[in-house]
Amino acid sequence: MFHPVLTEAVVRFQAQAMGELFPASGPCRTKIMGKMTPEKLDQADRIQTEMNYLLTEEMTEYRDETEQMLFKLPLAGSAFKKVYYDPIEERPAAMFVPAEDFVASYGASDLMTCPRYTHIMKKTSNEILELQVAGFYKDVDLPDPEPDFSDIQEKYDELDGESAVIEDDDRHTILEMHVTMNMPEEFDEEWVNIPRENIFYFIGSISHEGRFKNAHLIQEFGTLCAKIDVRTGWSNPWVNPLDGSVMRDLMQRSFMNPDLRNDTHKRWGTKTCRVFKSMSYGHLGITNSPKLAKFAGPEVICKENISDLFEAGLKYREDKELILRQMRYTKEHHTYVNRINGLLKLL
């Protein structure tokens, strides 16, 4: 004997919840904390408008996934919404995660303090290949997929009026784990003790003409190196892209790592990553751009004349105390977390 009372209650709950969570004006509302000011009101309005546009126009799956979640919620008792960056669509994405596909550590009261939680996902070989090409997943060989069907899914299919054909299920089961681990420091102060080689490794593009030309700067610095028997090595990332660990190793072993800027960059005050990478890798931060040096840190060595810059680099390249101070300043002011916090303040 079957009775539609449960299905009717679920549909009624879903309809009422969608009306509350997804009104015509949009699902996002902002709340101002503390004293209201015109600036805060303007900021709140900008954020609300942008978020509603993102959720209703850009994230086209958001409403459908929310409807699915609200249908399964009264049946399962729990349901989850996962918001993440989709490397294929190149935008934020939202997906409904059923309770049976989400596993958390026993006894965890919330996700912030949960030491491990796992999302059980189903993806086809083509979906995984796309993510491998995008660099999201590591490029490894996949085994043949095996059908996986649970009693819970069978009951859901019964309520939805669907029937599964297990033999045609060509999806892989992937466990995406979010784990609290003790990771190595992003900045290792022992890097200042790495021996330097008698090679000036320049990793970057070289332009011989136009307003961004820098070949004459690299050549002049390389000539000064040659006078003290230091060779110059060049790797063009557009022709020979290097793995991040390889690039870091070369920069750490380089005789010096100057950030040499052309006149256009110096005039604009272009903020490039080279000087920040050099200091974070335990090397001396030096540049010929005064505006870049002022932004990068108070102890970054700056000389606009390449010969003077070279001499200053020779003088301080073994000053480990200075290099450590530069590294610590970079860690406190110039990481991706610092940049994100800065962007959030502008919203």
Over the stretch 223-281, which tens digit does the pLDDT of each residue have?
999 999 999 998 887 778 788 788 899 999 999 999 999 999 999 888 888 999 999 99
Whether 196 and 338 share a structural domain: yes
- Domain finish residue from 145, 179, 213: 179
Quote the pTM value. 0.53
> What's the structural domain count of the chain?
2
Residue 184 lies in a domain: no
Whether 159 and 206 share a structural domain: no
- Domain finish residue from 129, 153, 179: 179
Whether 220 and 91 share a structural domain: no
Q: What range defines the domain where residue 47 resides?
A: 5-179
pLDDT tens track, the chain, 347 positions: 466 788 889 889 999 999 999 998 889 999 998 899 999 999 999 999 999 999 999 999 999 999 999 998 998 888 999 999 998 888 999 999 998 899 988 778 888 888 889 999 999 889 999 988 888 888 888 888 877 666 766 766 676 666 665 566 788 888 998 877 665 567 889 999 999 999 999 988 888 988 889 999 999 999 999 999 999 998 887 778 788 788 899 999 999 999 999 999 999 888 888 999 999 999 999 999 999 999 999 999 999 999 999 999 999 999 999 999 999 999 999 887 787 777 777 66
With the C-alpha atoms ordered 199, 200, 202, 208, is the resulting torsion angle positive or negative?
Answer: negative
In this structure, what CATH number is given to the domain that contains residue 245? Answer: 3.40.50.2000
Question: pLDDT digits over 96-113, tens only?
Answer: 999 889 998 877 888 888
With the C-alpha atoms ordered 202, 206, 212, 215, is the resulting torsion angle positive or negative?
Answer: positive
- Domain finish residue from 179, 198, 224: 179
Query: Helices 215-226 and 306-316: crossing angle, nearest 10°?
Result: 50
Residue ranges of alpha helices (H) inside the chain are: 5-21, 38-53, 62-76, 125-133, 151-160, 215-226, 244-253, 263-268, 274-280, 290-296, 306-316, 320-333, 336-346
Residue 313 lies in a domain: yes
